[in-house]
Structure 1
């Protein structure tokens, strides 16, 4: 989208926000989504979120200057409830626990908050979340993507074991998207839909660039001579380090069981761990360093 198209949409957003604020005293208006994050295409809508202290009024989409403006409404208490999840990262070693399930079920709300810019109706936009809240968001979003990668990997193992190579190829493609999303959120980007991944990867680059293609997974075909699961592990471990920092201490040996297919990293209150399906192994920082420098390959040279 050209700078002129962005300016036109932003002007419409500010004008509409001013009208909403005048009609609903005490309310806030948030610009959310791709446009709020500096991303949009030539046919992008403008997404506005009306936040009122009482029951939200009925709202609808409007069309101005050929551009659709989608308006949704909610209450301050609902927004505060979602925002409270960004006060701290609290994930026990078990991994898939009620806290994580709640965060994952509300990731759309949290991402809307992550992108939200508060419009004052006079042409000024300010981020809704503070820097610490954005850090917690990144950690929850990474935990969400790690759990999705773990789920896909377990499915992949079952599909390959039963010889369903075509379904496995679809799962591999989904896994590639999830890994790229994990890398983007670890680099400080919101968990927007897959179509925005090239643009988010460009924004995460140093220095920022235009959209970048997704990197392919290494040798992931079911007929490959050496399957590249170690590449998946390496990329997710780098995302963990980008989000949480590199653990101190000397490298330590990994458990022998982790030489088998399927283990992926997670971060929890107790520190670091590896998970495959429902099996979770606590790891020291030194073991995580060993894993990052020499991720174990599957015991067989082909798909398990």
Structure 2
């Protein structure tokens, strides 16, 4: 724990005690990176006052001992809708994906909820239970895989249009998204990108040092080869199976077209799939296991 983190926790607990006295019956929460154990030398403090019912309170942010304390308010009813999204993971391979769209739009608020801890008489208690935390990890991982699928579609178009500088920029962005998927698979929240090195460190164990964001192969024309793109597939497969488990092996027939440039894996609530742009191929567990093994060895 850094001195910046320790000082901000002290201020957060002291401010929470004052707020609890001013608003009987309200719950005071610490949120964001600080609640997750991360802070830098100029980090703000985010506190939320949760009232049981009625309209959210009107509060004004303040500066305490030279550090800004941002105050937010919500009712328990408002936050209940977010808890509802974390009750289960609903992303079908085919059909209505309304829940996934809603979760993606709400991911910033869900991340705030994922990091939140209740401040009560010097203690910090997580807001989410284990099932909600696990479902958040699945939503976050699926979101980052979907972002990788979208970037891959852009790359296919940029390669065809021979827009090399844009292609390289998107390839670099894809490296960040793949690393975010790995952090999400390890149970870390999708905090701002500046925290990704620290989150990758935490993904390997408590209090580990920050890690550099792993790069993708640089082959001059990075995305235009199967060799380079294999790293994206392999790392996403590893992230997905670390969260969902490795399917049992089988001996299914695989369509050679499924290993074509651009296909990426996704784990849906009803099974495995390959996706490229808007095209989706449902796979059995045995097919996914064989596909993942094939791309790792190719």
| TM-score, reference length from structure 1 | 0.92
Residue by residue, what CA displacement relative to the aligned partner does 1:216-268 show, whole Å, maximum 9, x if unpaired? 10235426884511110000000100110111232534222212111111112
RMSD between aligned residues: 2.0
Q: For 1:127-142, what aligned pairs fall within 5 Å after superposition?
A: 127-142=126-141
Q: Are the equivalent residues in 1 in contact too, given 2:89–2:139 (CA < 8 A)?
A: yes
Q: Deviations over 1:14-42 (max 9, x none)?
A: 11111212222221111011110011111
**Structure 2 residue ranges without an equivalent (≥5):** none
Contact 1:251–1:289 (CA under 8 A) maintained in structure 2: no
Give me the whole-angstrom Cα distance separating, in 2, the residues matched to 1:198 and 1:282.
34
After superposition, the C-alpha distances for 1:78-98 in whole angstroms (9 at most, x for unaligned) are: 111101100011111138821
Q: Give the whole-Å Cα distance in 1 for the aligned partners of 2:115 and 2:169.
A: 30
Instruction: Mark the CA change 1:224 to 1:45 in structure 2 (over 3 Å): closer, same or farther.
Output: closer
Other-structure match for 1:112: 112
Change (3 A) 1:45 1:168: same
Partner residue in 2 for 1:54: 54
Partners of 2:266 and 2:284 lie apart in 1 by 12
CA shift for structure 1 position 213: 0.1
**For 1:218 and 1:166, how far apart are their aligned partners in 2?**
16
Instruction: Map 1:248-267 to 2 at 5 A.
Output: 248-267=248-267
Structure 1 contact 258–296 (Cα < 8 Å) conserved: no
2:148 corresponds to 1:149: yes
**Residues in 1 aligned to 2:161 and 2:252: alpha-carbon distance in whole angstroms:** 35
Aligned to 2:27: 28
Q: Which runs of 4+ in 1 moved over 3 A?
A: 223-227
Residue in 2 that maps onto 1:278: 278
Deviates more, 1:224-233 or 1:179-188: 224-233
In structure 1, the gaps of 5 or more residues are 299-304
Cα deviations by residue, 1:138-189 (Å, 9 ceiling, x for unpaired) = 0011111111111111011001100111111111111111100000010011
Kindly indicate whether the alpha-carbon contact (under 8 Å) linking 2:234 and 2:296 is maintained by their aligned counterparts in 1.
no
Q: Is structure 2 residue 74 aligned with structure 1 residue 79?
A: no
Distance, in Å, in 2 between the alignment partners of 1:9 and 1:207 is 20
The more displaced of 220-229 and 72-81 is 220-229
After TM superposition, the structure 1 stretch with the greater mean CA deviation from structure 2, 55-64 or 103-112, is 55-64
CA distance in 2, matches of 1:28, 1:110: 18
Q: Which residue in the other structure is 1:232 paired with?
A: 232
Instruction: Kindly state the Cα deviation for residue 206 of structure 1 after the two structures are TM-superposed.
Output: 4.3
Aligned counterpart, 1:301: none
Q: Which residue matches 2:164?
A: 165
Task: State how far apart, in whole Å, the 2-side matches of 1:179 and 1:104 are.
Answer: 17
Partner of 2:91: 91
Answer 1 or 2: which has greater helix percent.
2
CA–CA distance in 1 between the matches of 2:217 and 2:207?
Answer: 25
Q: Confirm or deny that 1:11 pairs with 2:5.
A: no
Residue 287 of structure 1 deviates from its aligned partner by: 2.0
Where 1:282 maps in the other structure, the secondary structure is: strand
Aligned 8 A contact 1:229 1:297 in 2: no
Shift of 1:270: 2.2
Q: Is the partner of 1:295 in helix, strand or coil?
A: helix
> For 2:252, what is the secondary structure of its paired residue?
coil
